[in-house]
Amino acid sequence: MAGNKKKTRGREVNRTELAEINGVSLPTVDEWVRRGCPVVQRGGRGRAWKFNTAEVRSWRDDDIRAQADHGPSATKEQLILRKLAAETEQAELDLAKAREQVVPVEQLERALQKAFGEVRAGLRNVVPSRAARRLIGETDETAFKEVLLEEVDQALTALADDDLIFEEDIEGGEDEEGEGAKGE
């Protein structure tokens, strides 16, 4: 039948090309292979992976259908295990929150933005003023670079000793305007 011939068509591609064609990462391609994706030639020791795009497309179509239709194919025991796994994961997340081991991403992002702002300000304020005094009249490029590196290292060391992220930054304190409101 013409339909069968069409399935075996396609072109041979390597792992990277297969990932690019499908808009996925290389680890995703590796996961596909573990789950049964057809391989023309397995790679290893100087030998490239080879895949037939038509065969992979056909396998992906079947795989997507199977994943979308996982209800009837999953046994009652499998569904119970999935539910238990989901409940366990939720309980572990709740426990981590209660122990204050996790914070919402938005709060961490705000705290990191503030910390990086302090690093930037520290480097811009300290390094040029101190380095300029030390470099007046310096003509040796190596000495010039050495002084700049010392000043940058010294500024970063001082910043490393400071608390750049405070508890209230992570706890959602929206104190954007309070410049002097560091750890009281």
State mean pLDDT over 76-93.
90
Q: In percent, how much of the chain has pLDDT > 90?
A: 29
Q: Return d(Cα 134, Cα 4) in angstroms, integer.
A: 78
Q: What is the pLDDT of residue 135?
A: 83
In this prediction the pTM is 0.36
CATH class of 2-68: mainly alpha
With a cut of 70, say whether residue 165 has pLDDT above it. Answer: no
Q: Return d(Cα 98, Cα 87) in angstroms, integer.
A: 16
16 closest CA partner among 2, 35, 30: 30
Q: For 102-130, how does the pLDDT look when each residue is reduced to its tens digit (9 = 90+)? A: 877 777 778 778 878 888 887 787 677 77
Domain borders along the chain are 2-68, 70-102, 105-170
With a cut of 60, say whether residue 3 has pLDDT above it. Answer: no
Q: In percent, how much of the chain has pLDDT > 70?
A: 80
Q: For 62-79, how does the pLDDT look when each residue is reduced to its tens digit (9 = 90+)? A: 888 877 765 556 788 888
13 closest CA partner among 33, 41, 32, 35: 41
Give the contacts of 177 (CB within 8 A, at least 6 positions apart): none
